[in-house]
Chain A
Amino acid sequence: DAGVIQSPRHEVTEMGQEVTLRCKPISGHNSLFWYRQTMMRGLELLIYFNNNVPIDDSGMPEDRFSAKMPNASFSTLKIQPSEPRDSAVYFCASSPRQAYGYTFGSGTRLTVV
């Protein structure tokens, strides 16, 4: 199994541009999570899906952030427009069921200049 696959690994973009982060969970996992990691705040849960349905998006910082999971094997996190304070590492994780143990992707390091 290739694990959770995130792309791109690194993204540098200018303020105001749209950014799309991608995640492919492990086949058969029905929970998918998006996290953001910064030095100031540590790891924060942004949103999670069960069976492709968004369950809790209360961690999404503002309307500029949106996430979709059109099918069981793909999810996107979009920021539009991006701002320098969005610079962080964004992790995707999947789990066969909640509280069972999560597998994290390698993350996408986003830099907004």
Chain B
Amino acid sequence: AQSVTQLDSHVSVSEGTPVLLRCNYSSSYSPSLFWYVQHPNKGLQLLLKYTSAATLVKGINGFEAEFKKSETSFHLTKPSAHMSDAAEYFCVVSATGGGADGLTFGKGTHLIIQP
């Protein structure tokens, strides 16, 4: 069994300040973890993924995330927010090795960027 908890339903930051979107997971297997972004009226786009290689993962648009097994966390960060980052962000876990599971999505975090 696996689950994902995104700790904040909404995050508001000022343009140019750091972004932190928090995600905790649980998984019976060594997990693969993903962050997806969804802009209004658009489909989901993969930002970055962790699949048991380097624990610090760099993604597109300046985002990165760090896998911390001891804390069962996979928080998403960006040093400086841009207005175009305003969107819904989903943390996702997938069991590896088990073979039978699809993805489990968090509820999403709505990122608001203040000018």
* A99, A103, A105 pick with most chain B CB within 10 angstroms: A99
How many residues belonging to A are interface residues under a CB distance threshold of 8 Å?
Answer: 22
- The CA of A49 and the CA of B102, in the complex, are separated in Å by 10
What secondary structure prevails in chain B residues at the interface with A?
Answer: strand
Q: Tell me, yes or no, whether A111 is within 8 Å of chain B by CB.
A: no
- Among A33, A42, A98, A106, the residue within 8 A (CB) of B108 is A42
Q: Which of B85-115 contact A (CB under 8 A)?
A: 90, 94-96, 99-108
A residues within 8 A CB of B102?
A: 33, 45, 48, 56, 98
What are the interface flags for A55-89 relative to B under an 8 Å C-beta threshold, 1 for contact and 0 otherwise? 11000000000000000000000000000000000
Within 8 A of B (CB), among A28-53: 33, 35, 42-45, 48
> CB of B74 within 8 A of chain A?
no
Q: How far is the CB of B35 from chain A (nearest CB, A)?
A: 11
Q: How far apart sit A44 and B105, CA to CA, in the bound complex (Å)?
A: 7
